[in-house]
Amino acid sequence: MDNHKLTKIFNDIQRVYFPKKYQRISAEFYPFRTLRHIIEWTPFSIRAKVSRQLQNAPVHILQVLALLLLARVYKHKVSTEIRNIYNEYLHQLPRQERRINHTAVVNYRAKGKVYDLREIFDQINVSNFDNELEVEIVGWSKRKSYTRLGFYDPRRNLLVISQIFDTARVPKEVVRYLVFHEMLHIKIPGRTAKGVKKVHTKEFRYAERRYPNYTGIQEWIKKNLKRL
């Protein structure tokens, strides 16, 4: 399948499922190193990048993928049955087509001395995001950082938390919040307006402040950060 047909699939899905929220869409197969996909949007257009590994996938699988990606944009909940169609197809792919960047896995370990970030990610994904988010690599930073407490890299589908928090001195709710914050970047990506990209939008800040004990956690980090 070529990019023109892929773009048509995305536009058709938008027209059927989101007829009142039309935006111009362009879609392309992209040579990601891993089996992942990105959707970016502005108030006027949407751009989707689909892993080239799905270029020969059946049309109905690409239609399901288009629905899943557009659902992120329009904050629409997709049924478990629909998600299972896509997940079952992925499980049928040869192992080499589902490979991940093993170098990155080695560099970023999820299981730390005290906390397992993958376990925390999976728990928050269920409790806060209806199990909708997908990240291939979750791990502790390779070096201690007191300024960059965590980050999400959409290019590598990588979520990292500073290793300074992997200690029993840090309450688990603080680590959970840090993971939640980065996961929120997946759910609510930054927007570009007048050439300036804003990472923490009003929508992002509103969702973040609704996190349980948000104020208390912020105060704990501010008070204890330099002691870690």
Q: What is the pLDDT of residues 178-195, one digit of tens each?
A: 999 999 998 888 776 655
Query: Cα(48)–Cα(61) distance, rounded to whole angstroms?
Result: 15
Query: Is the distance from CB of 47 to CB of 53 less than 8 angstroms?
Result: no
Tell which of 64, 98, 132 closes a domain. Answer: 98
Whether 83 and 138 map to the same domain: the answer is no
Residues 6 or more apart in contact with residue 43 via CB below 8 angstroms: 191, 193
Structural domain including 165 reads: 102-227
Whether 22 and 92 map to the same domain: the answer is yes
Whether 74 and 113 map to the same domain: the answer is no
Tell which of 56, 71, 98 closes a domain. Answer: 98
- pLDDT at residue 101, rounded to an integer: 43
Residues 6 or more apart in contact with residue 209 via CB below 8 angstroms: none
Whether 46 and 109 map to the same domain: the answer is no
Q: Please give the structure tokens belonging to residue 172.
A: 């688990």
Domain count, the chain: 2
- pLDDT at residue 192, rounded to an integer: 66
Whether 189 and 208 map to the same domain: the answer is yes
Q: Give me the residues of the chain with pLDDT under 50, please.
A: 96-106
- pLDDT at residue 223, rounded to an integer: 95
Whether 110 and 173 map to the same domain: the answer is yes
Q: What is the pLDDT of residues 90-137, one digit of tens each?
A: 777 765 444 444 444 446 889 999 999 999 999 999 999 888 888 878
Single pTM value for the model: 0.59
- pLDDT at residue 111, rounded to an integer: 92
Strand pairing category for 37-41 and 191-193: unpaired
- pLDDT at residue 193, rounded to an integer: 62
Angle (CA) 15-21-27 rounded to 5° is: 60
Tell which of 98, 127, 154 closes a domain. Answer: 98
- pLDDT at residue 195, rounded to an integer: 59
Whether 141 and 220 map to the same domain: the answer is yes
- pLDDT at residue 36, rounded to an integer: 80
- pLDDT at residue 98, rounded to an integer: 47
